């Protein structure tokens, strides 16, 4: 009976049920944790939505965490290739999931792993450009940090694409004054061993799109905040249903 009831649910609520199906115990533990007095962090996610399905999958999971209270507030920035179109795709995805109030801005445009073909944005839920945050990626980023700082919260930063925007953030004078609001930064990239030390892998996905930015970001963040690197090898070990 319970299985058939769940199967009949449609709309944004199916997101959480699907996450429970694929995440199982993990999602239940997160749900339980959301009911504890601990104050959970905000999230800033940067991605090249539309190149592959992985960034949209990450966005779906982030919305699930937002809905059960593990993430308090979220901001999204799209970059690489046609960043405005990628932002429209991300905004449309959020709207389809019932999270249309999450602000989305276009970040740095430029080289992309994708082909910027029409097929990348050929969907019925593409948002209009006037629904994007007009401040742009960098201003949205610092607004999120500033709001968290004022509320006494911290921010988890998720970097799933080229690191051009993050480098611009690090070069902005506001970074030093708001860095205390950062809980951790996780990047989808890669690292290699050099003289017994882990260094940025120039051949890893996302890193090689903007090598100068990747080099600067890895070097700075590894010294300034808790910094985690997730490589492509993790995908085979932690598989999610699509």
Mean pLDDT by 10 residues, the chain (242 residues): 37 45 54 62 95 88 91 96 93 95 93 64 88 97 97 96 96 98 94 81 90 94 92 66 54
Q: What Å distances lie between residue 131 and 100, 121, 126, 169, 171, CA to CA?
A: 9, 16, 10, 23, 28
Q: Quick one: which of 164, 165, 198, 166 has its CA closest to 182?
A: 166
SS (H, E, C) 189-240: ECEEEECCEEEECCCCCCCHHHHHHHHHHHHHHHHHCCEEEEECHHHHHCCC
CA separation, residue 213 to residues 54, 70, 162 (Å): 22, 30, 8
Report the C-alpha gap between 230 and 191 in whole angstroms. Answer: 9
Spatial separation of the C-alpha atoms in residues 108 and 166, rounded to whole Å: 10
**Alpha carbons 132 and 241: distance in angstroms, whole number:** 29
Structure tokens at 162: 């080229």
Report the chain's terminal Cα–Cα distance, integer Å: 25
What value, to the nearest 5°, has the Cα angle with vertex 86 and ends 84 and 90?
Answer: 115
Distance CA 235, CA 75 (A): 24
Tens of pLDDT, residue by residue over 18-68, are 444 444 555 566 666 655 555 689 999 999 998 888 899 899 999 999 998
Exposed, middle or buried: residue 23 (CB in 10 Å: 0-12, 13-18, 19+)? middle
Helix (H, G, I), strand (E, B) or coil at 173: coil
What is the model's pLDDT at position 26? 56
The pLDDT assigned to 121 comes to: 77
Largest Cα–Cα separation, the chain = 59
HEC string for 108-144: CCECCCCCCCHHHHCCCCCCCHHHCCCCCHHHHHHHH
Structure tokens that stand for 118 in this block: 């029409």
Locate the domains of the chain by residue range. 38-237
What does CATH list as the number for 38-237? 3.90.245.10
Q: What are the b/e assignments for 153-182, b being 16+ CB within 10 Å?
A: bbbbbbbbbbbbbbbbbbeeeebeebeebb
pTM for this entry = 0.82
Structure tokens at 177: 């004054």
**What does the pLDDT read at residue 169?**
98
């Amino acid at each position: 009976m319970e299985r058939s009831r769940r199967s009949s649910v449609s709309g944004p609520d199916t997101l959480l049920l699907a996450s429970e199906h694929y995440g199982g115990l993990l999602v239940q533990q997160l749900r339980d944790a959301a009911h504890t007095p601990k104050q959970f962090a905000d999230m800033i996610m940067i991605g090249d939505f539309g190149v592959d399905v992985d960034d949209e999958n990450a966005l779906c999971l982030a919305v699930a965490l937002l809905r059960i209270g593990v993430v308090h507030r979220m901001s999204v920035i799209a970059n690489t290739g046609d960043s405005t179109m990628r932002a429209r795709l991300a905004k449309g995805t959020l709207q389809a999931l019932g999270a249309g109030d999450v602000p989305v801005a276009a970040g740095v445009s430029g080289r992309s792993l994708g082909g910027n073909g029409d097929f990348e944005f050929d969907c019925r839920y593409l948002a209009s450009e006037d629904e994007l945050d007009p401040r742009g990626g960098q201003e949205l980023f610092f607004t999120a940090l500033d709001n968290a700082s004022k509320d006494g919260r911290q921010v988890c930063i998720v970097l799933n694409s080229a690191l051009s925007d993050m480098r611009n953030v690090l070069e902005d004078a506001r970074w030093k004054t708001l860095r205390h609001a950062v809980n951790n930064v996780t990047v989808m990239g890669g690292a290699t061993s050099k003289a017994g030390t882990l260094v940025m892998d120039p051949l890893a996905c996302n890193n090689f799109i903007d090598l100068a930015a990747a080099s600067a970001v890895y070097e700075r963040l590894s010294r300034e905040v808790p910094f985690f690197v997730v490589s492509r090898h993790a995908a085979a070990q932690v598989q999610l249903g699509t």
